[in-house]
């Protein structure tokens, strides 16, 4: 039903102009034209509703159906508006969810890449190796020829160096070693043997004297100390001297 058409047809039947209606109802012609053209805008207007009632009452028309139509018109528009808003809200929600999912995927991928680049490295243990003595191959002598005598290690060392020491470890011990004025430090471990030679003296500070045995110039002196842990000895061609307050 067209509200404007009903009012305009009734006005024309009475041979009335919009100017006449405006003078009698005090409604501006501008609003009368908008009502007859069904130009009600996009929002409900209480003034327009009252103008429709006043216009219909002046023409002697029942205004109630026209007023109901006007209200129903904006109910339909409100439903359409709400539906559009719901659709827009749903689209926005979907877009936000897609963005969140994308961010999560990027973070997961980066964490995987960073985890693979930091692979655990193998622990590298450094072990001390002592120089090994190379044995010369046995010589074959012709019949009747005596094999040359080979001097023992201790004899050779005593002949070459005035001071020779062999340390045997029964456990781990730190050593501070000075050989003819040259200082060095290291550890000796269980079942390890360390040979030292000097022209003038060898001075050793033992960090755990209870686990190291000493052979001095071929003489087995036994454990460095059975009662003290940290001791210091000086070995010279003339003998062994204990250093006080090491």
pLDDT digits (tens, 9 = 90+) for 41-94: 888 888 999 999 998 999 988 889 889 888 988 886 665 555 566 678 888 999
Number of alpha helices (DSSP H) and beta strands (DSSP E) in the chain = 6, 9
102-111, 134-143, 162-171, range with the lowest pLDDT: 134-143
Give helix 29-36 / helix 46-59 axis angle, nearest 10°: 90
Please say whether the beta carbons of 169 and 206 come within 8 A. no
The whole-number pLDDT of residue 178 equals 96
The residues, any chain, with a CB within 8 Å of residue 78's CB and separated by 6 or more, are: none
Going by their DSSP bridges, the two strands 212-216 and 163-169 should be labelled as antiparallel
Query: For the whole model, what pTM was predicted?
Result: 0.37
The whole-number pLDDT of residue 90 equals 83
For residue 184, pLDDT over 70 is answered with: yes
The whole-number pLDDT of residue 123 equals 47
Return the H-helix or E-strand segment holding 76.
helix 63-117
Return the H-helix or E-strand segment holding 27.
none
Return the H-helix or E-strand segment holding 71.
helix 63-117
Please say whether the beta carbons of 162 and 187 come within 8 A. no
- CA gyration radius for the chain? 58
Give pLDDT tens digits for 64-74.
Answer: 988 988 898 88
CA distance 214 to 194: 10
């Amino acid at each position: 039903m067209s509200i404007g058409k009903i009012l305009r047809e009734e006005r024309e039947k009475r041979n009335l102009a919009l100017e006449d209606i405006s003078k009698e109802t005090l409604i501006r012609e501008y609003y009368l034209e908008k009502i007859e053209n069904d130009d009600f805008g996009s929002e409900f207007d209480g003034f327009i509703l009252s103008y429709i009632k006043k216009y219909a009452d002046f023409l002697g028309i029942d205004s109630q159906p026209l007023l109901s139509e006007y209200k129903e018109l904006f109910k339909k528009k409100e439903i359409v508006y709400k539906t559009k808003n719901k659709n827009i809200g749903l689209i926005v929600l979907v877009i936000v969810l897609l963005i969140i999912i994308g961010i999560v995927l990027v973070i997961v991928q980066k964490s995987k890449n960073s985890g693979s680049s930091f692979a655990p490295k193998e622990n590298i243990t450094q072990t001390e190796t002592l120089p090994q003595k190379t044995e010369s191959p046995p010589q074959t002598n012709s019949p009747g020829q005596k094999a040359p005598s080979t001097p023992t290690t201790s004899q050779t060392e005593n002949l070459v160096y005035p001071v020779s020491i062999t340390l045997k470890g029964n456990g781990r011990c730190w050593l501070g070693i000075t050989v003819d004025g040259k200082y060095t430090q290291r550890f000796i471990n269980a079942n390890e043997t360390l040979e030292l030679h000097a022209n003038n003296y060898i001075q050793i500070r033992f960090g755990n004297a209870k686990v190291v045995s000493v052979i001095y110039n071929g003489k087995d002196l036994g454990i460095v100390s059975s009662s003290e842990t940290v001791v210091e000895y000086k070995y010279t061609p003339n003998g062994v001297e204990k250093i006080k307050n090491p």
